[in-house]
């Protein structure tokens, strides 16, 4: 992957970024984000033995040891070589860790660095990066402006941490990760309205000012979104089980043509990891088996299943612009916020992010993270399928590399929004866009439904 030309979106640095105090605060924030990501990477890779790190647990995933060295290789590529102008440390291994040279399924056959060498490489790169960060000025070249490249690499590591968490969920070699359960939902959950109204009219979608926003989130542009109703919370396991009990998986009326064809071919009858026992349903979660918790947002459903559920409920999936308006638009000021609750960073009170728990919190949790409409859990808990294809915004410029977003634009991928319990806060915001094939179920995805308001 090579840097993509001079068309980089160079943004107006905010005054406090360029002042010395702002620069030191930015340095601290970047160092903190890199350290947090590395702690998580170590947790995910130190909790299993070498055989487990090398093994391919699913053809959908890389061996964990590939993710580990790929994290280090991208960090070396963008920060040590790109920002620091250093020579490659091990040029011969670059092709092994280029995601576009080798599909995931063939990565186990490559002469990958063994676990101890991958760890040493990651450690070595990180030491040099922290030295580089010490002397960075965050102005001048677009790649370092407002710390972008460092922020991008912290996000990249967190994205692969989520990928590794998905691999852990697919593992069949016993539990390795543990966590306490999230708290019960607050008492007002029972009196929440089923849906909230999002007013019609224009809003600002995307961003031209968020310093570490990735290319597909840019630029800010106005979108007219007619009034619509959105579920107050993600769809729960209990609600999804009603769809199942009503024969939803057996009734082609609710499915798109492609969805029904896939449902038939793949033999879908329930979310991934569920199995029936007696009158109820059990699920496997990070190596343990437990009853499906009714109040929790449904997880591990494909876009096709989400679409069928919505049709069965007499509703539809929200368009991506609707989702973002619900998550960002403040009807009082008329402006778009960074997050549903405002512009302040995520905290443990506002959102279930960062693998703090190994599951979503019950629907209705996180009142402190609610949007102006009252919608809850738009950020964190489960990725939410939207009805939309993954397409560029008007004025999109690929940056700093085409292979992050541009090569994926088109009708093959559906957009997911909001992040899951497995997403690092640095890689989550109201503008953040994720995408995957509509058949995918191993990702931490659920959904909520919408309907147009005829008012």
Of 431 and 434, the one with the shorter C-beta distance to ligand AVJ is 434
Q: Of residues 156-175, which lie at the interface with ligand AVJ (CB under 6 A)?
A: 156, 159-160, 163
The C-alpha R_g of the chain, in whole angstroms, comes to: 22
Contact pattern from residue 352 through residue 391 relative to ligand AVJ, giving x for each residue in contact according to CB under 6 A and a dash for the rest: ----------------------------------------
Q: What residue is closest to ligand AVJ based on CB?
A: 159
Q: Which of residues 101-160 bind ligand AVJ (CB under 6 A)?
A: 156, 159-160
Residue 68 CB, nearest approach to ligand AVJ (Å):
13
User: How far is it, in rounded angstroms, from Cα 384 to Cα 320?
Assistant: 10
Q: What are phi and psi of 111, to 5 degrees?
A: -75, 70
**Nearest-approach distance from CB 444 to ligand AVJ, in angstroms:** 11
- Residue 368: strand, helix, or coil: helix
Q: Is 384 helix (H, G, I), strand (E, B) or coil?
A: strand
DSSP-assigned states of every residue in 236-284: BHHHHHHHHHTTGGG-GGGS-HHHHHHHHHHT--S-TTEEEETTEEEEE
DSSP state of 161: H
Applying CB under 6 A, among 434, 438, 441, 450 the residue interacting with ligand AVJ is 434
The rounded distance, in Å, linking the Cα atoms of 3 and 259 is 38
Closest CA to 438 of 415, 419, 405: 415
Shortest reach from residue 344's CB to ligand AVJ, in Å = 25
Nearer to ligand AVJ among residue 163 and residue 359 (C-beta):
163
229 lies in the binding site for ligand AVJ (CB under 6 A): no
Size of the site for ligand AVJ (CB under 6 A): 7
Position 435 contacts ligand AVJ (CB under 6 A): yes
Q: How far is the CB of 447 from ligand AVJ (least distance, A)?
A: 17
Nearest distance from C-beta of residue 393 to ligand AVJ, angstroms = 16
Q: Which is nearer to ligand AVJ, 17 or 320 (CB)?
A: 320
- The kind and range of the H/E element at 150 are helix 148-170
| Structure-token pair, residue 319 | 């368009």
- Contact positions vs ligand AVJ (CB under 6 A): 156, 159-160, 163, 404, 434-435
């Amino acid at each position: 992957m090579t840097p993509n030309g001079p068309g980089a979106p160079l943004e107006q640095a905010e005054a406090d970024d360029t002042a010395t105090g702002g620069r030191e605060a930015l340095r601290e924030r970047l160092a903190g984000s890199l350290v947090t990501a590395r702690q998580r990477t170590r947790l995910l890779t130190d909790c299993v033995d070498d055989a487990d790190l090398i093994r391919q647990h699913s053809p959908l995933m890389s061996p964990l040891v590939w993710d580990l060295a790929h994290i280090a290789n991208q960090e070396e590529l963008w920060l040590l070589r790109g920002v620091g102008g250093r020579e490659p440390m091990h040029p011969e291994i670059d092709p092994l860790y280029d995601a576009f040279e080798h599909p995931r399924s063939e990565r186990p056959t490559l002469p990958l660095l063994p676990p101890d060498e991958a760890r040493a490489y990651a450690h070595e790169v990180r030491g040099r990066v922290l030295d580089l960060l010490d002397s960075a000025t965050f102005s001048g070249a677009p790649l370092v402006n407002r710390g972008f490249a460092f922020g991008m690499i912290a996000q990249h590591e967190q994205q692969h941490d989520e990928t590794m968490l998905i691999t852990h969920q697919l593992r069949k070699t016993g539990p390795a990760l543990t966590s306490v359960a999230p708290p019960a939902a607050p008492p007002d959950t029972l009196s929440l309205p089923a849906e909230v109204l999002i007013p019609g009219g224009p809003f600002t979608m995307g961003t031209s000012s968020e310093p570490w926003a990735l290319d597909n989130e840019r630029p800010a542009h106005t979108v007219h979104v007619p009034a619509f109703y959105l579920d107050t919370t993600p769809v729960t396991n209990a609600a999804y089980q009603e769809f199942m009990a009503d024969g939803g998986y057996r009734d082609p009326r609710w499915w798109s043509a492609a969805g029904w064809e896939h449902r038939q071919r793949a033999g879908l009858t329930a979310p991934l990891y569920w199995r029936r026992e007696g009158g109820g349903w059990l699920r496997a979660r990070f190596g343990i088996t437990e009853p499906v918790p009714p109040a929790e947002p449904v997880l591990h459903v494909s876009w096709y299943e989400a679409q069928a559920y919505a049709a069965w409920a007499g509703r539809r999936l929200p368009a991506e612009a609707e989702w973002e308006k619900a998550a960002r638009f403040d009807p009082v000021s008329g402006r778009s916020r960074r997050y549903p609750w405002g512009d302040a960073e995520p905290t443990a009170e506002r959102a279930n992010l960062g693998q703090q728990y190994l599951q979503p919190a019950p629907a209705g949790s996180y009142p402190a993270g609610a949007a102006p409409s009252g919608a809850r859990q738009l950020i964190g808990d489960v990725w939410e399928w939207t009805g939309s294809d993954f397409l560029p915004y008007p004025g999109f410029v690929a940056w700093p590399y085409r292979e992050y977003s541009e090569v994926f634009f088109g009708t093959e991928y559906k957009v997911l929004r909001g992040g899951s319990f497995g997403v690092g806060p640095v890689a989550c915001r109201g503008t953040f866009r994720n995408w995957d094939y509509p058949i995918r179920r191993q990702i931490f995805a659920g959904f909520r439904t919408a309907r147009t308001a005829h008012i």
